[in-house]
Structure 1
């Protein structure tokens, strides 16, 4: 099977995507797959470079990667791809919309505001929400453009910074507690990992991707809390229509898991959380990739997306 590792893209998370792609390329079993690196720089690259592949292993992050755009394009081409489908990808990329759906379903999530631009700026509304808050791009990831804000004096600059990266901004109440992440593969919850940043006060970009930037280890929770965490993670996965694999980020406060967001294409770099969780479950990186490919092929087959990549006429027509 010819597997194309699709990476790069045009988002603020391009460098993380390239790191994820490099790691996937290093670990894919060459006795099972013919592996092809596919680096995307602009949208037009996709239809040109996926010709002849049998499966697209997505290493993309951010806009035109996690938002359903690439997934829809690949479906049009009849090429199976990894991870969640178009609808779920779009839902999870939109933090405001996903939080609305989670709250409507009774899943705890921190209070928030969402603004479409500086014309909606309302310092009084944030004061009512209560400091401290996190200001972040509504559709961003990897903590790019995300800043903690403790008072009104630093609010405006943080909102302006978030809007540099996205057209809307999320202002989310900071819930203090233990940060944990729940990786799910095939609707199975892998060992829960607790996170503590070493170099900074919160789990920012450097803590996530620099060696030694954070202390991340499997946590053993009391049975009742473990059940609550598992229920919240699996419920969020299903509510947001995820499939194959995802990572659910939470804050555990007084035994209650507050869901922050759900990542449909979580990072797969050497420092990433999902591979660490899989390893704790006894799943090596190459075995994790095998499982993702296997589950993705099953998911795409169920949704009528068959391997049509050898029908070069359809691919060529799309690229015109």
Structure 2
């Protein structure tokens, strides 16, 4: 059976250093979702493979279904149920945007199964309302590096230029999880004024350096005092991995990816020494890990529609 809708969504690395809740980029690791069949409203069947396949095979635990239903409610439209095939490559609860990818997929499925007219701004607003903040969903949907600002109602975003081909991302993913709620709880309720000023300058430098190609400035630009000093204590080796990786000449900068525990480094030149240093650190702390060498200017969400889709929708009364 040919799928009615095929979606490919990228992993993301958000909260990039000083860009807490504001800056994120898509990386070239993808989850695939396929809507195989239209079912009666409220009925779902899921066949999941890869990361979290057992838990994500349950419709009530699958965020794609939850985001789809929430979007239909917000748009005040009735959408059908569906059977979903998914291949999950993005590690779960590791700071690489697996939940954002599911939200993006769910919103896009709602758009195409209900026929609701929505432009990029509306789609991103719905994605952000469900996810809670835009720094993961914006690059997941748009691709590349995105700076975004959200006030709880309105969203503004800017795509920055792509990384040059010689700059790659090395993501080290330890075999332990950090819940987003725990990562949020680790943050202080108040910060020193000097720390706030520090981060304003670093975030401004990060975006300006990225926009103008001054890659040697990224080590300063991605330095941070608002979240990484606290979140690095939540996972094994977090206190030492930054200093070890930053001292390597090919490393432009390093940051916690999302809310952790994955760590991502921007590397110009060969990547093997950076990857080895990251994984060796986790090993020394008794944690197994894997690493990915990724393109940091990845495409955003891609949707392929089957010619059979309109007829399939007519069969369940969806216009």
For normalisation by structure 2, the TM-score amounts to 0.26
For normalisation by structure 1, the TM-score amounts to 0.26
Higher RCO (CA 8 Å, separation ≥ 6 residues): 2
